[in-house]
Chains A and B, each alone.
Chain A
Amino acid sequence: ETGVTQSPTHLIKTRGQQVTLRCSSQSGHNTVSWYQQALGQGPQFIFQYYREEENGRGNFPPRFSGLQFPNYSSELNVNALELDDSALYLCASSPDRSYGYTFGSGTRLTVV
């Protein structure tokens, strides 16, 4: 049973639109990271936040942005959606960067 909750579970957006995905982490998990997973592929690291500041980023363009809040929730924002942005988006949190991560069940985004 996961302690990380993501919303919504499914979402359909139109190309060019903007989307906000949300994640609620366990209390005390100061580290949260976001991933994009295409079908049949491994998760691709988008970025990581620690105590509300970004402390790591993968090879994603600036239209992928995020926020982490003091209440252990976080957001992933994607602007100017493209068809290739269709994927499963996963949020994961950890009490510390040197521990394993607890993943949410993901948001499946479809861009049409």
Chain B
Amino acid sequence: SQQGEEDPQALSIQEGENATMNCSYKTSINNLQWYRQNSGRGLVHLILIRSNEREKHSGRLRVTLDTSKKSSSLLITASRAADTASYFCATFQGNRDDKIIFGKGTRLHILP
């Protein structure tokens, strides 16, 4: 079963607007990562936030993590057509047995 659950499943916004995607998970984690995937090809790593961090920025991306609520959000500001893709959160649980669990993704469509 999948740990991360993204919300919404699909999102369409106008170019220039901000896009917010949410992710919920079930168990304790070491870190949470966000990835982008274009047209069913390989995933591109966007940002990693560790379990002891609350917020992280990278360019137009802002990620928050609330471990008490087991949730994270990804904000893309000033969206562009090139941001059209599927976005996945992935939780990394590592003790003796590493597991990386992806959610089902949010399909983001930027309208011109």
Contact = CB atoms under 8 A, between A and B. Distances in A.
Given A2-B42, A103-B43, A45 B101 contact: yes
Nearest to A4: B42
Interface in A46-101: 48, 50, 55-59, 88, 90, 92, 97-101
Contacts of A99: 48
Interface string B14-57: 00000000000000001101010000111111011010000000
Interface residues of A, number: 31
A90 B88 CA distance: 14
Contacts of A104: 42
A12 to B, nearest CB: 17
Interface stretch (B60-68, B75-83, B102-110): B102-110
B45 A100 contact: yes
Range of interface residues on chain B? 20 to 34
Contacts, number: 73
B8 interface: no
Contact of A45 (B31, B44, B100): B100
B88 A43 contact: yes
A97 B44 contact: no
A98 B31 contact: yes
Contacts of B99: 45, 56, 58
A71 to B, nearest CB: 21
Given A103-B43, A106-B41, A42 B98 contact: no
A42 B30 contact: no
B45 A42 contact: no
Nearest to A50: B98
B81 to A, nearest CB: 21
B2 interface: yes
A48 B40 contact: no
Interface of B: 1-2, 4, 30-31, 33, 35, 40-45, 47-48, 50, 88, 90, 92, 94, 96-105
Given A43-B102, A100-B33, A100-B47, 6 more contacts: A35-B102, A42-B105, A56-B99, A90-B42, A98-B50, A99-B48
9 contacts: A33-B98, A41-B105, A42-B104, A45-B100, A98-B30, A98-B31, A101-B33, A101-B100, A102-B45
